[in-house]
Structure 1
């Protein structure tokens, strides 16, 4: 797969809503019943959104991987009486298997009686590990990443990982790239040392003897989860190296370390600008932007930017319902690529060679929203009596409703792509991320006035133009436009101005 191909599908449409006409009336196992009766749909039932592009989903996942990662250590899967959570259907912490009803439409007559599932690793001193400090308490999960928008998914979240991703064979301040393959001369992500979980080519193509390739490596281990995500990682790897080379031309006396750190600092500022200026307004809507995210108020050392569990596990997972059943791959004219056709999503995972929760009402109260107490009130909140009826049948009361299901069931706020609850939770989390970051790009002393002026003009379109073969892009990459309408030439998008970095540092 070429990078040009991978980037093209980012501008395609995303699903607009679920088709609820095929819900099964059976109810046996609640988790599977929620899936079958409320969240089930078919590929044919997925409707395209003609307002937002698929970049909303894909950029959102890439951005999320800068903020949250919940570790699940293999060592905790089988410590309880020697039970292996992957093989057993016994419920013994940390195993929490999902029972499969006998007539489950997805599994049919499959001999398996459960879906293996195990809990996240508990934060030290929470849950039963609280006994170490005197008594058990509420279990909390671990966030293995920093809570800041700093392109950690590109560079890694610790020094050892960051160093392993650097090209130390020269003094140019570059990131490591693939030493076997290029995309028409452009760089690909480097490989890991082993094939690992990415040996999927023979299995997916059903062709024996074809060469397998290792997984890609980046600052986040989920880089190879799907080929669309890998493409965005590739884009920003190339952008770092493009900047490092340009900075070296400006300042030939700079050391490799200075080149690397200055390029990294610029790239780290990109998501801060793009997420707040271009992305969030499409998600949370203008009201939440005005209330939670007005002009930058400055750094506040008393603001805790840590990621809330409800954000990591529910609110910022709204995009799970915006996935398309296909990963579209188009050529430079935005037509189906003749060499690299679109692939089903389930065949795009771990395939580099192609390249719960606190209750719903509690969180509504937290956000100052009404708390529906019965089916009628829930139907008003969701503007969907049939859906409210099914939720009450499954959960008994709105108070018991899972916050993710309740959140994604709400009608979108005006100008946004989530309902009122998730609009509040997402905007509030980003408010804390920005105000609690002592290295935020707008904070005095982080960048010079002229450097901030350059960063304020950065655009995702310009990054795509500089690092792919695409020459025309939508004016707003997060909005859907039919080919030929509102597309602009890369020549008409101002280049990133690096002059403020001329002869600074050592």
Structure 2
């Protein structure tokens, strides 16, 4: 990205150069790639080696040590550069960012002028919005995050300065370390953003901090909200080893993500008869506990427009944001341009993610992106990731630490969102606009009704536990009950993930390795979520989605009145207020098979994602996933195969497409040949989601391996992990741990439904089966005996 900027030598052209550098049609020279010379072996019927995960963990740890050595060498190179050259480079970097900020101001002024010319008085949260801005705001997953964007601009100063030095000194930019910390002039550093504030740590406390800090006594910022993700592997992550989108091994631009989507993806239904749709919904809920990557937005939270019209258009806007990277839509696209002779849709909006600083305040040598959430499994989707948000979610009138709820027709629901938007459902809460948005620990709670149901289940569970703790240990403060209930809710979530969810997703053998006692707490491990997991592997749930969501009544009959098409229910959480919707939707999740994880996706997300009311087309989530992977610098699929070389079903990097068979079905490989120039160009999401699954698992070997490495790292790094340090003060007591081990998602659903779910299969992620998973009365399922939890 920045090589083109510096090569221009003229500061007045910086922004133009930036746009060129971000363009998908960039003709940059590819980084030198050396293919690993290994044999190819893939057979998904092979036995899983019992030492596989241990080998992978050892490799990961070794590469982490090597990365620290490289970082030290990069710092030594910087130390050898004369101070005046450092200062000159930083001046150039600051000038670049200043022009960036000026462009944002010009865009804001353009918006203001456009609104005035149209004479609109439309309001959204007090800010006038054009129809186009309203469209992008509707589909904005993240609120305005100025702290993350400020981190990005500070990092950009460093990246531009490094490229400046690289061009002048002939040193590869990837070998130059962080330099802005070495500036000496009074205003040279001018840092625009500090890392998130860090409060003093109390390592004798039983309770986690809300923002994830103070977990590790080795490095207090480990896992803190607002810090960056980490990578498993950086093979061919960026074309310039810093920020520019990866290009093909032959130096050509990679194919358009939309072309890949229409060539490889099928809008078909291939159910997985062994697992329930609940696996999809739990996966989305868990993802919203772990990852949220802010993008660059306008001050009102709406997205920058990278095309001449919101989402689709013909020409790029006269003032595109420098972080725009719009997705090209082919002229003969079967959905967006069904009449090739008159194409009207050539561009899909896409804005890049914010990127930030290392935990020590230095700038990493390539982009690493900001996670707005904590990196732990800590219920932040229920409680929030900041002290301010957590406080807003608590019921200040509660004497026993409950969370806020709304009681509607005698049932507990989430509280209304702080920025409810006008809708057609009518006012439900007094003096609140309407019912179409709820508040929760994660802002995406309103994305679709089944997600809202899951959020509601866990808020009810917190309040149920708080009530029970008050009964068995009365006389304590409200904060005591809140923290204790939160502590046990998090333990329940972790138990479900490691003992119910992972065995289904990655298979019982690999899950057993993840749960092996050899992986004990290790305080020096960085828990930061892997970007390969957040941006590729964990997006596999998009393949599990069903287009038609079937609801079932308590007598087993279909609820045809309330069943719905997913494409018609985005941003309509108010559906859960309808009579019987809550329990009927839970029965649907428990009885309906999920779709198989493969190259087949519902057309609700391949062309109708978040479509505006009354329109036929929306966005393509597959295209967005592919483009986000390139934005986040993911290694290609073949690169991850090389990293995972070992004894789990693959042993090398394939040289031709035919060698991908039988790991990937022949018809998918044939489609890949038609769009990719080389198997080494295949995007990680595309390759990983297309693999045949491991035995008794939902995922194929590559994504299963990333899952295993991610969850074993989260377990090893977490001082508060529910099964770590049991019996040692201040962690779970042995009696408390024994009660948590009784927990199941089935029991939690029973305890927190509206009361009409009386029978349920014990293994909620597996379909009901009269032989192996027969539904039983809810009262027959074991649960926590709260009388056995004290002393607290």
Query: 1:94: Cα distance to partner?
Result: 1.1
SS of the equivalent of 1:65 reads helix
CA spacing shift, 1:78–1:230, aligned 2, 3 Å: closer
2:375 is the counterpart of 1:147: yes
Which deviates the most, 283-292 or 365-374? Answer: 283-292
2:454 is the counterpart of 1:232: yes
* Counterpart residue number, 1:418: 699
2:626 is the counterpart of 1:344: no
* Counterpart residue number, 2:526: 304
* Counterpart residue number, 1:439: 720
2:264 is the counterpart of 1:38: yes
Q: 2:552 aligns with which of 330, 339, 344?
A: 330
Q: Distance in 2 between matches of 1:231 and 1:474?
A: 19
Contact 2:264 2:671 in 1 (8 A): yes
CA spacing shift, 1:393–1:138, aligned 2, 3 Å: farther
Deviations 1:84-114 (A, max 9, x none): 9867636763111112222212113573321
* Counterpart residue number, 2:404: 176
2:477 is the counterpart of 1:477: no
* Counterpart residue number, 1:319: 541
SS of the equivalent of 1:52 reads strand
Number of aligned positions between the proteins: 454
2:290 is the counterpart of 1:67: yes
* Counterpart residue number, 2:489: 267
Deviations 1:41-64 (A, max 9, x none): 1xxx31322111101111111111
Q: Distance in 2 between matches of 1:405 and 1:347?
A: 26
Deviations 1:294-335 (A, max 9, x none): 236321112221101110000111111110002222222342
2:433 is the counterpart of 1:242: no
Query: 1:387: Cα distance to partner?
Result: 1.6
Q: 2:640 aligns with which of 360, 363, 368?
A: 363
Deviations 1:145-171 (A, max 9, x none): 112111110111111111100000131
Query: 1:482: Cα distance to partner?
Result: 5.8
2:251 is the counterpart of 1:47: no
CA spacing shift, 1:82–1:114, aligned 2, 3 Å: closer
Structure 2 unaligned residues grouped into runs of 5+: 1-253, 427-432, 577-628
* Counterpart residue number, 1:104: 333
Aligned alpha-carbon RMSD (Å)? 2.8
2:711 is the counterpart of 1:430: yes
Give TM-score scaled by structure 1 length: 0.83
2:496 is the counterpart of 1:277: no
Contact 1:471 1:489 in 2 (8 A): yes
2:420 is the counterpart of 1:195: yes
Q: Distance in 2 between matches of 1:54 and 1:151?
A: 21
Q: Distance in 1 between matches of 2:377 and 2:456?
A: 18
Deviations 1:161-218 (A, max 9, x none): 1110000013121100015x24xx231011113323x73769xxxxxxxx94231110
Give TM-score scaled by structure 2 length: 0.54
Contact 1:330 1:337 in 2 (8 A): yes
Contact 2:739 2:789 in 1 (8 A): no
Q: Distance in 1 between matches of 2:737 and 2:767?
A: 29
Contact 2:307 2:349 in 1 (8 A): no
Q: Distance in 1 between matches of 2:440 and 2:335?
A: 34
SS of the equivalent of 2:330 reads coil
2:668 is the counterpart of 1:387: yes
Query: 1:457: Cα distance to partner?
Result: 0.9
* Counterpart residue number, 1:94: 323
Contact 1:228 1:327 in 2 (8 A): no
Query: 1:125: Cα distance to partner?
Result: 7.5
The residue correspondences of 1:100-139 to structure 2 (distance < 5 A) are 100-107=329-336, 108=338, 111-124=344-357, 137-139=365-367
Query: 1:385: Cα distance to partner?
Result: 2.3
* Counterpart residue number, 1:451: 736
SS of the equivalent of 1:51 reads strand
Query: 1:231: Cα distance to partner?
Result: 0.5
Q: 2:776 aligns with which of 463, 482, 488?
A: 488
Contact 2:759 2:777 in 1 (8 A): yes
CA spacing shift, 1:84–1:142, aligned 2, 3 Å: farther
Contact 1:85 1:117 in 2 (8 A): no
Query: 1:122: Cα distance to partner?
Result: 1.6
CA spacing shift, 1:98–1:79, aligned 2, 3 Å: closer
Contact 2:297 2:304 in 1 (8 A): no
SS of the equivalent of 1:74 reads coil
